[in-house]
Chain A
Amino acid sequence: MRCTAGACNERFCEHGCLREHEIAVRNLVYHITHNPNDVDDITQEVFIKAYQSLASFRGGSFRAYLARIARNHCYDVLRRKRVRPETTLGDLTVEQWPGTDGGPEDVFLDKETALEVRHLLDQLGEVDRELMILRHLNEFSYEEIAEVVGMRPGAVRTRISRARQKMQELMERRGQGETPAITTGMGIHRR
C-alpha cells in the first residue's frame, strides 16, 4: 500500500493513508460491535495488533489485512464479553438516530430516510451486512473483501449481489405497504 501522499512506501506512515485506514477500520469495528462507547478503544487495539503482527503481512492489500484483523478482533471482544452485537435498532426513533444534527449539512443526510434504510439493512444476515459495509461504505474490491472474510471472490460477488437484490425487494415491499415509501434519492417515490 503506497502512501497516498506519495511521499513514502511505508505501511504506517502518518500521511493520508493511515488516516484513511483509521476511518475504514473504525467503520467496520462499529458495525460489527455496535458499541459507540468502545469503538475508539477497539479501533486503536486493531492498529496495535496490526502493527505487532506486521511480519505476518505477506503483501497484497494492506487495508484488507487491517480489516481482517479488525474483524477477528471484534469477534474476540464480543466473545470475551459474551454478548452479541446489536443487530437491530429496535424502537430507535428519528430523533435518536445518531446522524449529524444542527448544521445545514443535515439537509443532505436526511435522518428519516437513513433510519428507514438502516432498518432494512438490519434484515440482512450478519455476514451480508458486513459485506455491504466493506463494499459500499469502505469501498473495498471484491478481492479485498474475499481476503477479509475468507471467502472466494466469486462467492463474495454472488452474496453481495443477492444482498442488494434483497434490499431492493425490501424497499419495494415497504413502499407498497402501509408504511411511507422511501425516497431513496432523487424524487421518485415508489408506491
Chain B
Amino acid sequence: MKHLQSQQAWAYIEDEMEWHQKLKYDRHLEECMDCRRLLDDTRRLQQSMIHAMDAEVPAMPPDFHAQLLDALHKDAESPAASRTLRSKHLFQRRIRYGVSSAATVVLALGIGWFTLHGKLSLPSPTPAHNSVAMGMTGDVTGHQTRKGPGGGVSHHRTNGVLENLASPAQAPANIESPGQAALATTTVPDRLNGLALFQVKTPSGQPIANAHVSVMAGGQLLATGLTGENGQVRPLQLSVPVDPVLYPLFSTAAIAEQGTMTVVVWKQGYRPVVSYDVRVFAGGSSQFSQSLTLQPAAGDPPPILAGYGFSRNGQGYQTSTVAAFVNWVKQAVTVQSVDTAAGQVQKVTSMVGTSNTAQGPGHVAVTVLNQNGRPVEGAQVAVVAGSHISGSGHTNANGVAPVIATSGIADWRFIGPWNISNLSPQITAVVVWKQGYAPAVGMYVPISSTSPTDVTVKLDSLSWRKSMGWNNLSAPSTIAPERLPTTTNAMSYLAWATGQGY
C-alpha cells in the first residue's frame, strides 16, 4: 500500500475519498505512523485556516437578521428603495415595522406575488426571542445515545405591536413543530471508543523512553502509559466523551461530534507538555495518533501547552495554572509530592483538584410560564451536567419544577484564560420542553449545594405563535439566566436531552 499523499490526505479528511479506497487507507493507517502524522498535520492546517479566516470577520450584530428582514420587507414594499441601495446608513437605520394598513396591503401583495412564484416567502417580523427548531416527544430516561444535531435555527425580533394583539390561545397538545420534519436520523454516541497511539520524542526526533503519558477527559484520568525504547506507549484503548461543552465553540455539527481529551506527558529532565486534543475518534475513526515532543530542561521547568488552539508557548494561560494542572495529574498518577516551594502553586493545585469534582447536589427551581405569564403544568425539565442528565422533573400546577441536580465538572480548560479565580463548575445546562410548546435551553446555570438556583422559562405555545403569524414556529423559547448557547449548542442539547433529532 502506497503512503498517503497530501492531496489524498485532504480527500480523506474531507470525506471525498471513495469508500473502498478509504477502507484501504484505514487499514494502512493502523500501521503507518508517518501517514497518521500527515493526516494529523493536514487536519491541523485545515482547522488553523478556518479559525484564522473566521476570527478575522467582525462579529455579526445581534439584530443583523432582523434588520435584514426589515430591509427586505422595505424593498418589497417600495421598489424605489432598491435604487438607493448604497444609502449611507441603510443598515444602521432602524426601520420600525409599524406599517400603515395601506403599506401592509402593498407588502402583502408583493410577498404574495413572490410566494406564488415559489421563490420568496418573507417572514413576518416575530417577537424578540431566540429560537430553536424542535419537535419534542420522549422522556428524560436512559440517555445512552443522542441524536445528531441539525435543523434550522434562527433568531427573531419584532416590535411589540403584534405581540400586544396576542390572543390568549392555549396550546393544543397535538400541534407539532415544523422542526419535527427535520429530525436527524444519525445517532451519535455519548462516548467514542478507539485506540490511541502516542509517541514521545526529542526535538531532533529521537525516541524518549520512560516518559509518562496520561490521558484525561472530563476531569478524570482515562489511561496512563510509559513509553518504551521506541518512544511509543502501548496502544491505549480509550472511551472518550463527546464533549457538549465544546458546542458553543463550533458552528458545524460535524465538528461537535468528536471526542476530546487532554494528554499530559512528562519525564524528569524535560519540560512537561499538556496537549488538548479535539476530533479524537471523530468521523467514525477508531484510532487516534499523536506525536509529542519534549524539550530537555533542567530543574522543574514550566510545562508547555500544546494541542488544539494553543500557541507554542501556551500563551493565554498563567504558567502556574498549567504547572498546577500537571502537578495534579502527576499526583493522580504516581502520588508524587507536589512541589510546595511556591505557595501559589500549591494553592492553585488545590483549586484545580477541587474543580474536578461536580458541585452539589443543589436545588434548582425551574419556573415555567407561557407567553402570557401563566404557569405551564407538566413541562419536562432536565438539568444536563457535562454529558449526562443529573436531574429532571415536571412542573406542577404552579409551573414550578423543583429539581435536585449536580453540576457539571469544571474543566481546567475553562479556568478563566488569565485567572484561575474564575473557576466555577457551571458547565451545566437546563432544557425545558413540552409537547405543543417551543422548548428552551439555558447554559452555564450555576448549581450550589448551599444556595438554590432559580431559573425562569417562558415557553411559547406553538398555537399562539401560529395565531400570531409566526412563520418560524421552530424557534427557542426564552430562558433566564440569559447566557444562551449558540444555536448549534442549543440544538445539540435539545436533541440529546429530549431524545429527538433537531
Contacts and interface: CB of A to CB of B under 8 A. Distances in A.
Nearest to B38: A168
A107 interface: yes
Contacts of A180: 312
Interface in B83-119: 85-86, 90-91, 114-115, 118-119
B154 A18 contact: yes
A78 to B, nearest CB: 13
A14 B120 contact: no
Given A6-B178, A7-B181, A164-B6, A187 B203 contact: no
B417 A107 contact: yes
Contacts of B49: 117, 121, 132, 136, 167
Contacts of B50: 136-137
B292 interface: yes
Contact of B291 (A118, A183, A188): A188
Contacts of B53: 27, 31, 118, 121, 132-133, 136-137
Interface residues of B, number: 96
Interface stretch (B17-25, B59-67, B359-367): B59-67
A19 B153 contact: yes
Contact of A168 (B45, B59, B278, B417): B45
Nearest to A50: B72
A39 interface: yes
Contacts of B86: 41, 45
Contacts of B40: 185-186, 188
A186 B308 contact: yes
A48 B44 contact: no
Interface footprint category on A:
35 or more
Interface string A114-147: 1101100100000000001100110100000000
Contacts of A181: 312
Contact of A13 (B58, B68, B277, B471): B471
A183 B306 contact: yes
A91 to B, nearest CB: 16
Contacts of B91: 40-41, 44
B45 A184 contact: yes
Contacts of A52: 75, 82
Contacts of B47: 184-185
Interface stretch (B121-129, B163-171, B383-391): B121-129
B152 A164 contact: no
Contacts of B292: 187-188
B301 interface: no
B282 to A, nearest CB: 12
B75 A109 contact: no
10 contacts: A7-B471, A12-B120, A14-B471, A15-B178, A51-B76, A52-B82, A114-B51, A117-B51, A132-B53, A189-B306
CB-based closest 8 A-B pairs: A16-B152, A5-B152, A185-B44, A14-B123, A6-B182, A7-B178, A187-B306, A184-B44
Given A4-B151, A12-B121, 4 more contacts: A20-B152, A30-B57, A31-B57, A185-B309
Interface of A: 3-20, 22-23, 26-27, 30-31, 36, 39-41, 43-45, 47-49, 51-52, 54-55, 57, 97-100, 103-115, 117-118, 121, 132-133, 136-137, 139, 161, 164-165, 167-168, 171, 180-189, 191
